[in-house]
Amino acid sequence: DTAVSQTPKYLVTQMGNDKSIKCEQNLGHDTMYWYKQDSKKFLKIMFSYNNKELIINETVPNRFSPKSPDKAHLNLHINSLELGDSAVYFCASSPGLAGVLSDEQFFGPGTRLTVL
């Protein structure tokens, strides 16, 4: 009965490779997010989707491409991986009700990406 799940939990890969991280939520939420957490624990939003539509696209290299096939899934594809992409990536979801001043986000367990 996991609320927000991510796969894989760990990902070790070589520079230049392309990889994907998958995220699914079974909470019935309308909004999903991707965050990057660096080694200093700083958590920065990358993307946000509301009902499969991209609503937040922070200053992220275009090697990162999110895809939302339906509102329960938000996948992150990364092309040409670089050393600096090593981090923990968190998926999150929130009810995202229109007109509501934000709301609680539910985070997945994270995917630790190591680029060698």
Partner 1 sequence: GESVGLHLPTLSVQEGDNSIINCAYSNSASDYFIWYKQESGKGPQFIIDIRSNMDKRQGQRVTVLLNKTVKHLSLQIAATQPGDSAVYFCAENTGGFKTIFGAGTRLFVKA
Binding site for partner 1 (CB under 8 A): 4, 31, 33, 35, 40-45, 48, 50, 55-56, 90, 92, 94, 96, 101-102, 104-110
| Closest distance of CB 16 from partner 1, Å | 28
CB 34 within 8 A of CB 60: no
Chain CA centroid to CA 24, Å = 10
- C-beta of 14 vs 40, nearer to partner 1: 40
DSSP reduced 3-state for 115: strand
| Closest distance of CB 86 from partner 1, Å | 17
CA proximity to 85, closest of 64, 54, 107, 109: 64
- C-beta of 8 vs 16, nearer to partner 1: 8
DSSP 8-state assignment for residue 63: T
| Closest distance of CB 45 from partner 1, Å | 6
